[in-house]
Amino acid sequence: MALKEGHLRIVQSSLLGSILANLLLILGMSFLIGGLRYREQLYNSTVTHMSASLMGLAVLSLLIPTVFYASFKRPLDAEGKLLAISRGSAAILLLVYALYLVFQFKSHAYIYTSTPQHVVDEESRPGYDDPIEMLGISRCARSPPGGTSPSLLRAESHSIGRFSSVLLLFVSTALVAVCAQFMVKSLDNLVKKGPLGELFIGLIILPVLGNAAEHFTAVKIAWKNNMDLAIGIAIGSSIQIALFVTPVVVLIGWAVGKELTLHFHLFESVVLFLAAYVVNFLVLDGRSNYLEGSLLCAAYVMIGIGAYFYPKGQDQSSI
């Protein structure tokens, strides 16, 4: 909707904001909330290394247009070449994403096997009492470390049927489309008359609201000591947006006559690079704790502050 209406800046920032929200906010909250219950949580480090490599490729594809644009004395000379670079990079990213799907679900599916629960149970240490009690949860109300109560297992075993799932998916998609249409129509007045700029709306507000359900699910799973799935939700969604959604949006813009490129402003490019850099280092050891989660959340808050005070309109640099 926003692409069709010509809100290219918001489209770009919302795509980048979704990646940042998954990498920093959702992953950080999962580490933090899970770390309040368990001193350390285990996950498959091999999978996270592969995911970090894919994110590195995605960051590279966004940095190249930014550096290329900054190399010209006259920015207008770079416009046409940026389109060619962005569309070529989009096609390459889609090819890499297709190979990634084959790698994950076919040729190397065994790598993506979750860490055995008995290993997680043995390695996880009891959590800290004070943070849990501060949340109003007593030790007797908690399940054993790494375990799940039989009543909870029975409650989670119920699921809806295939027809109901498909119907619910279509209804949800229709409602999202309607909400998106109303949102896009209100963007012009919000940017012109409100105190918030396009960057803050696209980079922070839209991704946080759009990923609210995903955020809650990942945190809930991390609380249950299933970090492989929680990390899969956070980092997997970032990979999907970076390697699939973003290239598809660029190619759709090409098809409908909108000159959408992978050229992001310097602030956004540097922020994404540093976010991927920090996450890459934090997931190397295959263990997480609440301090690592607080670091990621703090990084996201600082990015939000910078986006709030980012210059608007003519005050922005061309880079």
**What are the 10-residue block averages of pLDDT along the chain, 319 residues in total?**
68 88 93 91 86 90 87 78 90 94 88 65 54 45 43 51 80 72 66 74 84 87 90 90 92 86 88 92 88 94 92 70
Distance, in Å, from the CA atom of 307 to the CA atom of 301, rounded to the nearest integer, reads: 10
- What pTM value is reported for the model? 0.80
Q: Are 215 and 29 in contact (CB under 8 A)?
A: yes
- The predicted structure's pLDDT at residue 116: 62
Distance, in Å, from the CA atom of 298 to the CA atom of 110, rounded to the nearest integer, reads: 35
Distance, in Å, from the CA atom of 103 to the CA atom of 50, rounded to the nearest integer, reads: 11
Distance, in Å, from the CA atom of 234 to the CA atom of 123, rounded to the nearest integer, reads: 23
- The predicted structure's pLDDT at residue 273: 92
- The predicted structure's pLDDT at residue 199: 83
Distance, in Å, from the CA atom of 129 to the CA atom of 121, rounded to the nearest integer, reads: 18
Q: What type of residue sits at position 247?
A: P
- The predicted structure's pLDDT at residue 30: 94
Helix 8-20 to helix 227-240 angle (10° resolution) is 160
Nearby residues of 91 by Cβ (< 8 Å), 6 or more positions away: 247, 251
Only one residue has tokens 């301090």, namely: 291
